[in-house]
Chains A and B, each alone.
Chain A
Amino acid sequence: MIRLSQARNKALLAIHGWSGALLGLLLYAVILTGTVSVFSHEIGDWSAPLEQAPQHALPHRIDAALRNAAQQIDPKYLESLFFFSDIGGRVRAFFHADEKDASGRPVDRGVGLRIHPQTLQVLERYEGESDAIKAQEQHGALAEFFVDLHVRLHLPNPWGLLLTGVLGLAMMVAAMTGFIVHRHLIRELFTLRRRRDALLTARDTHVVAGTWNLLFAFVLAFTGSFFSFGTAFGVPAIAMVAFGGDQERLIDTVVGGKRAEDARPAAFANLDDMLADARRRSGSEIGFVSVAHWGRADATVTMTPLPPAGRFAARNYSYDGASGAFLHEKPTLGLQPSLGSDLFDLMGPLHFGSFGGLLSKAVWFALGFAATYVALTGMLLWTARRAGDSRAWRRYETTVYWMGYGLPLALAWAPLGYFGAMALGADTHAGTNTAFLAAVAVATVLCGVLRERLALRRVLLALTGLALLLTPLLRGLAGGPGWGLAFDAGLRAVIALDSALLIGGVWCLRGARPSRTTQQFDGPRASPA
């Protein structure tokens, strides 16, 4: 494909291999958890369903519930409000004030509510900083665990985001160098040699998966880095340079549409009427609403509809909160349509794969699985070539097996901890974390006990399979609906995810059986020269 001198080829291959070897373990974790997180919405609906199927649009009559809540909270928290349909269809509302903590970092502090979408009853009420409120909520624990592990590896901001941003860049470097050094990309598209040298099979396995996944790898790495660096680095840096460090002013300027302040008290108009008007204008259900300055003359309501069919994003509709009058329609960024706003709108759909419902999510899941496979086979190939050289490389090879097969085990155990805690009435966050860490500990012990890599792989796969098979059972024991009830109530996510877990469990158990293919792959390494 691209002709390079032998020296240049060697140098690029070294960059490709070493970037993968040094950052591959964490990159693998980010990609695998991202693959799972494609279905975070469905995981939330599956793990914490209400009695009826969730609607991922807002209820049409929400005004009375929010107005009643607004009357009962500290008026300082009426500065900002947002609400949207969340796990199981529960409406998540957060009345808050934008404050700064001791270090000057912006924090949101207020009152969080979970409202039943049909009865409009307040199910849960929390008070405090937004992160602390999230930690108290029991229903979202499992889905949030997977998403948080993917977004920032459970590290505190901004370090977790910076790290995942760097990993995204590493993925782009690996994809680019892999593309350049592989001279026969098209010619070897369908070639995977299984009956010769084990290292050759390992090389072909990695190259074939990487070639087919190349374009997606670029897209995913770029959009992922965009999200990570944008929040952790981009916004603070631009704020520092152009807005004297005031991130809120930067966001107001870039997003646009902020009205002149008028703090005189004024009655708040009917939200249901504004919602109905926005639905009529957009031809779509409303996905997200934000309210600034509830109860003031300068109150503004901004509605974001769900993207219309065939589109990636919808335009926002702004209303005067005091009179209910329509103000204007605007794109996500700025007040006029722009290429920048269109590109910004594209980042989410390209990264999350949620633009086409379950079909696009299924495709993105498959692509994520392929990317995970590329990362794992790359590390196994790199270490297999060197494990004969030194004890350090052999230890690193064991570490690759630990992460490669131990992380799926830990992710499969996490729901067991979640449902176990739910059944016992304990904190589901603690239950999820404990089960995850327990699985990590088990994998670590097994790595120490089982010297033979093939046996280690088989045991870890078998334990993963068992966990996946047990999860639907434990979900039922924790009070979750059975399939009959779920079918009657339209809770499709319950049946779909239970089925996926059962299929995944059987697949893992089958993979744990000895076979000639795995014998070849994990067979004797090439001896050192």
Chain B
Amino acid sequence: MRRGNTVLYVVVGIVAIIAVIGLFFIGTYNSLVSADVEVDQAWAVVQSKLQRRYDLIPNLVNSVKGFMAQEMDLLTEITEARSQWGESLGKPITDQVENANALESVLSRLMVVVTSENYPELKSDALVLELMDELAGTENRISVERDRYNAAVANYNKKIRMFPSSIIANMNGMMQRQMFEASDYAQEAPEVDFS
């Protein structure tokens, strides 16, 4: 084989290999980015549901205040927990998660009191009924979106740690993300039952 032909073959071979590797890199990087953005999206949805609960609480507290004069300290606790979560929005995610869980546990105590037999007039008030439904729906939404967020984070973490996409993840400095751990106290959404 003459010298010129060999060089051409080798060059074509190298170009082909580089092209294949390049495509692989691009494809994997894009899928990592896509997973990362999905995690962001899921987190935004969780935040919007938490925000919904945040907006709901003052209305709720005001409507039950008239019926439950004895539980004032519980109601103040709720208001405090709510404002604490509102303030923690700029802080790192661990703080936010902690405050959200604390608020949830306080609210569940309120739900227990409301659905107990201590305040029968509460259950016939139309406004309270509505707000309780809203609260239950919101808590359920939070729990569902939290699960979906965790699923997205799990998917992303898997992709980052699995070989060979872990190489590209390390190259771009992609770190594992944290899941939304449910608090120990309130594991399920409170139910409203006025039967």
Q: Do A and B come from one complex?
A: no
What residues of chain B have their CB less than 8 Å away from a CB belonging to chain A? none
